[in-house]
């Protein structure tokens, strides 16, 4: 195994025939690293059962060693080889939402390396809804550990250019598959206890989980006090400039921002509708509030754009009624620097 890689092989996804997929799978199995597309964000993959390969992920990303990784599988059957028990609720969630943007936490079998789990006795597993990724896992014939394909602390990569900027020359292979379809990371649900609990919100939201399981599915941090998911304690998704998240009614946020002075180093990020309403302010628009998926898809790219344009102060405008998954990523981008406007009605 070479470490660090001398060069990075880049493969456009449309160039990958079955023979090439098998070759990449074999290289992954042997311990090389490859950036793979998934439906959520790009992942930096390695053989999830080989400690030396997993170590390369931490080195390439600069990720803290106690922040565990998700194992990606190509079928529910492959889960049985890495976990000790699958609760009825977990089975229901797998049947309903896999393949898809839902990660489940199970008790791990002894042979799952500590390097994957950060020393925990549990392991995170997901079956992604991306045909090419499923073929790659099948070709590798092992679960692939794959955290988001960004340098630690930066926004997750949702475009090939993000992957290239962060990891070219630091990994063995990159697959270029254009833009990530969803744009934010998977929902994480802890299935190790008697009752499932949400560790990280995502596109599959609390209401969807509760409807399927016919019971309350609380946020773990609300019920257990200390965060159970090690990743939540780290700064995440942060652009280089200072970010303030402004949460309130459009007019209130506008009054607050209109009183500020703007130059090229200060910028507002807001929905298309907010931008249209206040054309005199320097707004970089996200998607439309009538399609939150479009906002999820563009959020990280827009935060990275602020770095490219050397913006030093960013006002991120959102509304308290927006999906929990979006507000969570936005709060992290703002390093929890949030200005909330009380409703005066």
Residue sitting closest to ligand AMP (CB):
231
Instruction: Report the residue number, 45 or 175, with the smaller CB distance to ligand AMP.
Output: 45
The continuous run of DSSP H or E covering 294 comes out as helix 292-308
Q: Is 38 exposed, middle or buried (0-12, 13-18, 19+ CB in 10 A)?
A: buried
| Binding residues vs ligand AMP (CB under 6 A) | 67-68, 70, 105, 117, 120, 122-124, 147-148, 185, 188, 199-200, 228-232
Name residues whose C-beta falls within 8 Å of residue 86's C-beta, 6 or more positions apart in sequence.
79, 80, 94, 106, 191
Instruction: Report the residue number, 111 or 336, with the smaller CB distance to Mg ion.
Output: 336
The continuous run of DSSP H or E covering 93 comes out as helix 88-97
Please, what is the minimum distance in Å from the beta carbon of residue 141 to Mg ion?
Answer: 25
The one segment of 32-40, 143-151, 176-184, 251-259 that binds Mg ion by CB under 5 A: 143-151
Q: Tell me the two tokens of residue 197.
A: 């609990």
Q: Tell me the two tokens of residue 74.
A: 């190509």
The continuous run of DSSP H or E covering 22 comes out as helix 18-29
Our finding on whether 8 is near Mg ion (CB under 5 A) is no
Instruction: Report the residue number, 102 or 268, with the smaller CB distance to ligand AMP.
Output: 102
Q: Distance from CA of residue 336 to its chain's centroid?
A: 18
Q: What's the length of the chain? A: 345
Instruction: Report the residue number, 29 or 63, with the smaller CB distance to ligand AMP.
Output: 63
Please, what is the minimum distance in Å from the beta carbon of residue 123 to ligand AMP?
Answer: 5
Residue sitting closest to Mg ion (CB):
148
Among ligand AMP, Mg ion, none, partner that 144 touches (CB below 5 to 8 angstroms by kind): none
Please, what is the minimum distance in Å from the beta carbon of residue 125 to ligand AMP?
Answer: 9
Please, what is the minimum distance in Å from the beta carbon of residue 327 to ligand AMP?
Answer: 16
Give per-residue burial for 223-262: e unless 16+ CB within 10 Å, then b. Answer: eeeeebbbbbeeebbbbebebbbbbbebebbbebbeeeee
Please, what is the minimum distance in Å from the beta carbon of residue 42 to ligand AMP?
Answer: 11
Report the candidate in 169, 70, 61, 50 with the shortest Cα–Cα distance to residue 113: 50
Instruction: Report the residue number, 137 or 281, with the smaller CB distance to ligand AMP.
Output: 137
Among ligand AMP, Mg ion, none, partner that 199 touches (CB below 5 to 8 angstroms by kind): ligand AMP
Our finding on whether 148 is near Mg ion (CB under 5 A) is yes
Our finding on whether 38 is near Mg ion (CB under 5 A) is no
Instruction: Report the residue number, 148 or 325, with the smaller CB distance to Mg ion.
Output: 148
Please, what is the minimum distance in Å from the beta carbon of residue 170 to ligand AMP?
Answer: 16
Please, what is the minimum distance in Å from the beta carbon of residue 14 to Mg ion?
Answer: 26
Instruction: Report the residue number, 124 or 289, with the smaller CB distance to ligand AMP.
Output: 124
CA of 231: how far to CAs of 97, 124, 133, 153, 188, in Å?
23, 12, 24, 11, 11
Q: Tell me the two tokens of residue 90.
A: 């977990």
What is the binding site for Mg ion (CB under 5 A)? 148
């Amino acid at each position: 195994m070479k470490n660090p890689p001398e060069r990075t092989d880049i493969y456009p996804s449309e160039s990958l025939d079955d023979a090439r997929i098998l070759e990449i799978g074999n290289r992954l199995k042997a311990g090389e690293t490859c950036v793979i597309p998934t439906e959520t964000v790009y992942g930096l993959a390695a053989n999830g059962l080989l400690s030396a390969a997993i170590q390369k992920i931490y080195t390439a990303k600069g990720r803290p060693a106690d922040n565990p990784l998700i194992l990606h599988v190509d079928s529910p059957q492959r889960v049985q080889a890495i976990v000790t028990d699958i609760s009825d609720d977990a089975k229901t969630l797998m049947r309903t939402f896999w393949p898809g943007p839902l990660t489940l936490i199970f008790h791990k079998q002894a042979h799952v390396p500590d390097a994957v789990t950060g020393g925990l006795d549990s392991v995170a597993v997901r079956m992604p809804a991306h045909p090419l990724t499923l073929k790659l896992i099948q070709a590798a014939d092992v679960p692939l550990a794959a955290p988001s394909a960004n340098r630690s602390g930066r926004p997750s990569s949702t475009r090939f250019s993000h992957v290239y900027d962060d990891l070219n020359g630091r990994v063995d292979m990159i697959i270029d598959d254009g833009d990530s379809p969803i744009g934010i990371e998977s929902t994480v649900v802890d299935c190790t206890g008697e009752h499932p609990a949400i560790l990280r919100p995502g596109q599959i939201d609390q209401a969807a989980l509760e409807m399927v399981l016919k019971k309350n599915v609380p946020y773990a941090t609300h019920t257990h006090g200390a965060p159970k998911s090690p990743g939540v304690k780290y700064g995440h998704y942060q652009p280089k400039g200072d970010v303030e998240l402004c949460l309130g009614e459009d007019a209130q946020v506008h009054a607050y921002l209109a009183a500020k002075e703007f130059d090229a180093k200060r910028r507002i990020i807001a929905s298309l509708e907010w931008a249209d309403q206040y054309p005199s302010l320097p707004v970089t628009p996200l998607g439309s509030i009538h399609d939150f998926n479009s906002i999820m898809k563009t959020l990280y790219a827009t935060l990275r754009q602020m770095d490219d344009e050397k913006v030093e102060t960013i006002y991120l405008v959102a509304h308290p009624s927006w999906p929990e998954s979006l507000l969570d990523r936005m709060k992290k981008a703002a390093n929890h620097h949030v200005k909330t406007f009380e409703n005066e009605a």
